[in-house]
Each structure stands twice: as structure tokens, then as C-alpha cells.
């Protein structure tokens, strides 16, 4: 832009063509409005060069090309994605025969336990080495002896009295026979005959009394040897050598080892799964101590003993006659034969003492007082479907996948749930596929992708027990 300076000559300019035009404009203003403009600086209009216009042209051309591209671009077809079918795990169910075990707990108790007491008084002069806590003994084995001398003397006196009574009876019998003979001949009075009959009756009664005294003396002498009433084991010992005992004094606490019994409390609901006759005995009726009938359910007992997990087999032999008042449960009694393993496997003899019959290598002792867990064999049920517990939904329902891969909500009747398994009584058909995995926001008829778990079962089976196995 060029300005005109008054110091320059009139009409002189750096850019003549611009200066002349500016002066012309100043003269026009002076003539029209009477304003002196000559000599004032004049602002000239900006005239851009080619270098200044080049970037602007490039920008405009680029914008035009971009606009053409936007207008002429192909239109994309918009499509909505379809629904994705969820993936689920399924099992194919088949009806089976199952036995559902019933769990219970109890303490091992002896079948028979009693106090061994004395029947005569005296000083203890001998004790068996088996008469100690934990000692084994046989039936009718002598465990303790009391000084018998006083009873031997008393027996001799009773025998002397018996001899005298026998002599008196013989004399009275002879007198009675003589009086009868004299009475028939009229040589004796009736009063003498009656006296003879009375003396004979008195002598006869005296003989019976003497015999009783002898028998009592023999019993007292026999009772000086205290014998075991059954084969068993000593729990506690109360007397020792030199101690004076009186009749009825406890000598030791004994329990039998032929059987062990466990009282198992069972709820009323669990009784429906056991094959137990509640009104009849399960034992044979020939007497106490006989073999248990085969009709009782099998029982498996387990406990931690001597640092290992051990198990014992038994049977339920009876139920107690009344409900427990506090727990309202029924107690069933399970029996384990030969809990200490003392019976010789090749004979039917009674249990022997521990120093002559070691425990069998294939059997562990079941000690009295051990707390055990019991699994009682349940009665069989037919046509039962077994499923993982995760397959059961709220309100006893399951999800079934049909042949088209669609969901079907199905109500089922649950027989029982044991641990992580559930057993269905009705509501399913053989060969149907039941969902076992978690499924959120499921609806009837919804499409799913199923992955079948190999095998007909999702979990190990509960086999039907035989005569020598337990479930």
C-alpha cells in the first residue's frame, strides 16, 4: 500500500499508476465538498499476489473433491444382528432301580453289661489275671476265689445233721409200724398210735430240713468261686487280693463281646425309606443270642480309629418301641457280630481270651464306646431318575431341551435329595435331556445350544445293595 508525502513533488509516486489514481480521488473530494485533501496520506487497496492465493486455491479444490466423494459414496445396507442361542450342559436321563441310604450316628454299646457281685462273705484269696480292666474271659471262667474254709466247716455240720435226721426218721418209721401192729391186736391205745405218727412226720420234716442245709452249704462253698456269667471283657475292677467282701458287693463291671449294638436315631420322614417292620421282631424267636435274621437292612459303620478310617458291617435287628420324648425320633438298633474279631474263623466256639486268639488280620476291632457314623441301606425304588442337584430349579422344576433345541419348563416330583444328587420320582420321560448348568432369564420355547455330558449319569450311581453289600 502506498502513501503520498507532501515533501515529494506533485504527481510523484513509488507506484505511479496507483498514485495518480489516488490524487484524482483527492481532487474530486476537494472540488465536491471544498475539503483540502492534497498532501494527506491516502490508504491504498490491498492487491494479493499469486503466492498468497495458491494455498487458498489448494484448500478450495480439496474441499470440492471431498464433497464430491461424500455425495457419490455407495450407501451401506444396515442389518440388525439375530439372537445368539445360549450354550447349556444337559444329561440324558433313564429310569433306574435305586436304594437311598439313610445316614445316622450313634455310640457302640455292648449287648450285655452287668456288675459281677459276690453272693457270700469272706476274704479274697485269689484273682484271675484276666480280672483287670480290658481283660478278656470265657463264659463260666473263674475270676475270683473267696476263702472257703468257713463254708467247708458249715457244710460238714449240715451233712452231720442230715445223717442224724436220717437216723431219727428210720427210728420213727419203725415205731409207727410197731404201733400200727399193736393197735390192730388191741394192745395199744389210739393216743400212742397218734404220738407215733406225729414223731414220724417230725422226723421226716427234719430230714428234709437237713438236706436243705446240706444243699445250702454246697451252694455257699461253690459260690466262693466267682465265675463269669458270659464270655466278655472287663470294663472296671473293684476288688483285689486280701480284701474282705460282703454278699452283694460289686467285684467288677463286665460286658459281653459276642455282639455290639448301636442305637441309631431315625426321623419319621426317613423311616419311609427303610424296609423295617415296626411291629415284629427281626431276630429269630428261638432265644437270646441267636443269629440275626437276614431280613434286616444292612448297615455300614465308619469312624476314625487308631489313626485310620475304618468300616464295619452289621444289620438292623430291631426298633425300639417308643419315640424319644425330646427328639421325637425312633431308635433302630444295629448289631455287629464279633466286634473284637475273637471267634476262630474255622470253628463255632465261643470267643477266646486275647492271649490265645489274636485278632484276624482282615478285621479291625470295634471298641465299645466308639462314636460311629452309620449308613443304613434303604428299600429299593423303581423307575427313578437321578440328576445332579444343580439341575433342580425352584419349586421342584427342571428345564428340558426338546428335539428342536427349545426349552420346556417341567414340574417334577422329587423323591429325595442326597448330597449333590437328587432323585426324581415322576415328571420326566426316558431319554429326555435335562439342563444341569446355570441358565439366566430362561423362557419356554427359547432356542439353546446343548452339550450333552457323556454317559447316562452325571454322578456315580447308588447301586442296589445285595446280601453282602451296602449302599
**CA dist 467 to 375, 436, 471, Å?**
15, 34, 11
pLDDT at 471: 35
Q: Which residues 6+ apart lie within 8 Å of 174 measured at CB?
A: none
Tens digits of residue pLDDT in 19-65: 455 455 555 555 555 555 555 555 555 566 666 777 778 778 787 77
| Domain locations along the chain | 1-70, 87-98+380-452, 103-111+258-376, 114-251
- What is the Cα–Cα distance from 386 to 414, expressed in whole angstroms? 10
Q: Are 199 and 172 in contact (CB under 8 A)?
A: yes
Can you list the pairs that 221-224 forms with residues at least 24 positions away whose Cβ atoms lie under 8 Å? 221/148, 221/151, 221/152, 221/155, 223/118, 223/119, 223/120, 223/146, 224/120, 224/122, 224/145, 224/146, 224/147, 224/148, 224/151
Beta strand 87-92 with 449-452: parallel, antiparallel or unpaired? parallel
Q: What is the pLDDT of residues 195-236, one digit of tens each?
A: 888 888 999 999 999 999 999 999 999 999 999 999 999 999
- State which residues of the chain have pLDDT below 70: 1-51, 75-82, 277-294, 344-363, 455-471
Which grid coordinates are listed for 81?
Answer: 444382528
As a whole number of angstroms, the distance between CA 337 and CA 415 comes to 33
Coil, strand or helix at 114: strand
For the record, the C-alpha cell of 141 comes out as 471262667
Q: How far apart are CA 314 and CA 292, in angstroms?
A: 10
CA distance 135 to 145: 17
CA 66, CA 269: separation in Å to the nearest integer? 84
The pLDDT of residue 177 is: 85
CATH code assigned to 87-98+380-452: 2.40.420.20
Q: What is the pLDDT of residue 63?
A: 79
* Assigned CATH class of 103-111+258-376: mainly beta
Domain 114-251: give its CATH code.
Answer: 1.20.120
**pTM metric for this prediction:** 0.64
The pLDDT value given to residue 355: 41
- CA-based radius of gyration for the chain: 58
Adjacency order of strands within the sheet including 122-127? 225-227, 142-146, 122-127, 244-245
Amino acid at each position: 500500500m502506498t502513501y503520498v508525502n507532501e515533501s515529494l513533488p506533485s504527481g510523484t509516486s513509488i507506484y505511479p499508476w496507483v498514485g495518480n489514481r489516488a490524487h484524482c480521488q483527492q481532487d474530486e473530494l476537494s472540488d465536491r465538498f471544498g475539503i483540502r485533501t492534497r498532501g494527506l496520506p491516502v490508504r491504498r487497496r490491498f492487491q494479493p499476489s499469486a503466492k498468497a492465493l495458491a494455498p487458498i486455491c489448494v484448500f478450495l479444490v480439496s474441499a470440492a473433491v471431498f464433497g464430491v466423494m461424500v455425495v457419490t459414496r455407495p450407501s451401506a445396507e444396515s442389518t440388525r444382528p439375530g439372537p445368539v442361542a445360549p450354550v447349556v450342559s444337559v444329561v440324558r436321563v433313564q429310569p433306574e432301580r435305586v436304594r437311598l441310604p439313610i445316614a445316622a450316628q450313634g455310640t457302640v454299646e455292648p449287648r450285655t453289661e452287668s456288675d459281677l457281685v459276690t453272693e457270700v462273705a469272706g476274704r479274697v484269696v485269689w484273682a484271675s489275671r484276666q480280672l483287670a480292666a480290658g481283660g478278656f474271659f470265657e463264659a463260666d471262667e473263674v475270676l475270683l476265689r473267696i476263702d472257703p474254709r468257713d463254708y467247708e466247716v458249715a457244710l460238714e455240720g449240715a451233712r452231720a445233721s442230715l445223717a442224724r435226721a436220717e437216723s431219727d426218721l428210720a427210728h420213727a418209721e419203725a415205731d409207727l409200724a410197731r404201733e400200727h401192729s399193736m393197735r390192730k391186736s388191741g394192745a395199744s391205745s389210739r393216743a400212742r398210735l397218734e404220738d407215733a405218727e406225729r414223731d414220724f412226720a417230725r422226723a421226716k420234716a427234719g430230714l428234709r430240713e437237713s438236706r436243705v442245709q446240706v444243699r445250702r452249704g454246697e451252694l455257699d462253698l461253690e459260690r466262693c468261686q466267682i465265675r463269669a456269667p458270659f464270655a466278655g471283657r472287663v470294663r472296671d475292677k473293684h476288688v483285689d487280693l486280701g480284701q474282705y467282701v460282703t454278699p452283694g458287693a460289686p467285684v467288677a463291671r463286665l460286658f459281653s463281646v459276642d455282639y455290639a449294638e448301636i442305637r441309631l436315631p431315625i426321623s419319621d420322614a426317613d423311616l419311609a425309606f427303610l424296609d423295617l417292620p415296626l411291629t415284629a421282631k427281626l431276630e429269630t424267636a428261638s432265644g437270646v443270642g441267636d443269629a440275626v435274621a437276614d431280613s434286616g437292612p444292612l448297615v455300614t459303620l465308619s469312624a476314625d480309629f487308631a489313626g485310620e478310617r475304618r468300616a464295619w458291617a452289621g444289620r438292623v435287628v430291631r426298633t425300639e418301641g417308643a419315640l424319644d420324648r425330646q427328639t421325637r425320633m425312633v431308635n433302630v438298633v444295629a448289631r455287629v457280630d464279633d466286634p473284637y474279631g475273637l471267634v476262630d474263623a474255622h470253628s463255632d466256639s465261643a470267643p477266646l481270651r486275647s492271649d490265645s486268639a489274636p485278632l484276624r488280620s482282615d478285621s479291625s476291632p470295634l471298641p465299645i464306646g466308639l462314636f460311629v457314623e452309620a449308613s443304613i441301606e434303604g428299600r429299593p425304588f423303581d423307575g427313578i431318575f437321578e440328576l445332579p442337584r444343580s439341575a433342580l430349579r425352584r419349586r421342584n422344576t427342571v428345564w428340558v431341551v426338546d428335539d428342536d433345541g427349545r426349552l420346556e419348563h417341567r414340574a417334577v416330583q422329587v423323591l429325595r435329595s442326597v448330597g449333590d444328587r437328587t432323585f426324581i420320582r415322576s415328571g420326566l420321560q426316558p431319554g429326555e435331556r435335562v439342563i444341569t448348568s446355570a441358565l439366566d432369564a430362561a423362557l419356554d420355547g427359547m432356542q439353546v445350544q446343548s452339550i450333552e455330558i457323556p454317559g447316562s449319569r452325571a454322578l456315580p450311581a447308588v447301586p442296589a445293595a445285595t446280601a453282602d453289600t451296602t449302599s
